[in-house]
Amino acid sequence: MFLVKGGRRLCGEMEVACAKNAVLPILAAAMLTDEPVTIEDCPNLVDARNMLSILETLGCRVEARGKNVVLDASRAESHEMPEQLSKRLRSSIFMLGPLIGRFRRARVSYPGGCEIGQRPIDLHLKGLRALGVTIREAHGMIECDGARLRGADVYLDFPSVGATENVMMAAVLARGKTTIHNAAREPEIRDLQNFINALGGRVHGGGSDRVVIEGVKALGGARYRPLPDRIVAGTLLAAAAATRGEVHLRRACPGDLGAVLDKLRQAGCEVESGETEIFLRARTLRPFEVSTQPFPGFPTDLQAQFMALACAVEGASVIVENVFENRFAHAAQLRRMGADIFLSGRLAVVRGGKLYGADVQAGDLRGGAALVIAALAAEGESRVENVELIDRGYESLENMLAALGASVQRI
Ligand code: UD1
């Protein structure tokens, strides 16, 4: 758990680590090549470590060299995902595309992950079927036969991030051209494209709603540094705002945080940005409205943290969650700290004001980060339990916050 003493302003400067949501598919895509791949500054996250364990189980050699990770999948020969590991994180579903691309077959179990709504994988499977893959689902396992894998037009009913990435990875080594229509436009997809192209792939359009993949016979090796984590950056900005602090983030990709910086300004923060830097100063804040959307809209992965911020701002803020149907579990915990939150379906109305320290439990990764933000802004001491969920997506959040002057201790 974290022991948080609230009431201190966050102040200082910090560099933002590489993005979890970029690293996970990139690690999976390393299975597509026989040549060694170096991922620079690979964040030390529980989810990334689990993904590396999956790769090792599949026969990929994994070696840590300082902050870098070197992967060598030349001797990988298994197309079967270990069931226990895949249950532990949803991103294990990312192995489907690379395994089909490389071995023309894959066997995985239904994935685990955060409890935030149904999170089905029908769009992943539909996309793979469009590429000629035969899929059988039985006893919780998914068996894919990709003997007839070939490029095709894929239409996604919803711009799913994971489905876009899976189809991209399956299509890289397929014969012919694949076009993904209504693709997700998240920056992490552009990053996956850049990684695949660094290996010698031919992908373009990543970051737009139409991604084109021209199949190649084989891929080579590369060194690659994934893009900065916009969700970590947004979390630190929300924490600084909630404590009326002042932070300067370096390597922070303001271009990928447009909707978030706009909300912070609406809330009354002073925000300035350079090409890779963000500076925020918060003094007197006002309520705001947030409505989550696929990129470039406001990210659902910052909804909880902004709800915590709203709790620390005098007046009524409104939050609408459009991406996941069940992503307000943190509200009940925030109420334990004195927050006044009205919920109805996908809508939350927060009447912000004063927060008081309390014992609370993280229920999921981003919800956990939200509780830490509320604890930082609260009067008195809080204990935030289940921090192992927070460790899935933040590399020692307590050290990051302590470096900015907060009192957070891991116990
Ligand atoms: C990714 C991110 C996650 C983020 C989410 C939305 C990673 C590792 N995770 O998750 O942090 O919260 O994008 O920005 O990158 N859906 C279906 N059928 C499918 C797939 C998705 O109905 O086959 C629905 C989901 O239930 C959800 C919505 O589509 O309501 C968005 O999901 P998706 O974009 O696929 O999110 P993930 O890739 O799981």
Which residues line the pocket of ligand 1, CB cutoff 6 A? 21, 24, 90-91, 117-124, 158, 160-163, 184, 188, 300-301, 323-324
Of 48-57, 96-105, 387-396, which gets the smallest average pLDDT? 48-57
Structure tokens at 406: 């907060």
Residue 151 has pLDDT above 70, yes or no: yes
Nearest CA to ligand 1 atom 12: 301
Residue 52 has pLDDT above 90, yes or no: yes
How far is the CA of 343 from the CAs of 4, 335, 340, in angstroms? 27, 12, 10
How far is the CA of 176 from the CAs of 125, 145, 150, 167, 212, in angstroms? 20, 18, 6, 14, 11
| DSSP-based three-state secondary structure for 109 | strand
Q: What mean pLDDT is reported for the chain?
A: 95
Model confidence pLDDT, tens digit, residues 7-19: 999 999 999 999 9
Residues 246, 282: contact at Cβ < 8 Å? Answer: yes
At 112, is the pLDDT very low, low, confident or very high (cuts 50, 70, 90)?
low
The per-residue b/e assignment along 69-104, b for 16 or more CB within 10 angstroms, e otherwise, is: bbbbbeebeebbbbeebbbbbbbbbbbbbbbbbbbb
Q: How far is the CA of 12 from the centre of ligand 1 (A)?
A: 33
Using CB atoms within 10 Å of the CB of residue 63, give its burial: 0 to 12 exposed, 13 to 18 middle, 19+ buried: exposed
SS3 content of the chain, % helix, strand, coil (to 5): 35, 25, 35
| DSSP-based three-state secondary structure for 77 | coil
pTM, 2 dp: 0.96
Given the CA of residue 94, which atom of ligand 1 is nearest to it? 8
Instruction: Give strand pairing partners of 203.
Output: 213
Instruction: Give strand pairing partners of 317.
Output: 350
Q: Binding site for UDP-N-acetyl-alpha-D-glucosamine, residues?
A: 90, 119-123, 301, 323
* Residue 105 φ/ψ, nearest 5 degrees: -160, 160
Residue 368 has pLDDT above 60, yes or no: yes
**DSSP letters along 127-168, please?**
HHHHTT-EEEEETTEEEEE-TT-B--EEE-SS--HHHHHHHH
- Which position has the token pair 């059988």? 136
Model confidence pLDDT, tens digit, residues 289-309: 999 999 999 999 999 999 999
User: Which helix (H) or strand (E) covers residue 314, if one does?
Assistant: none
Q: How far is the CA of 356 from the centre of ligand 1 (A)?
A: 34
Percent of the chain with pLDDT over 70: 97
pLDDT, position 162: 95
| DSSP-based three-state secondary structure for 98 | helix
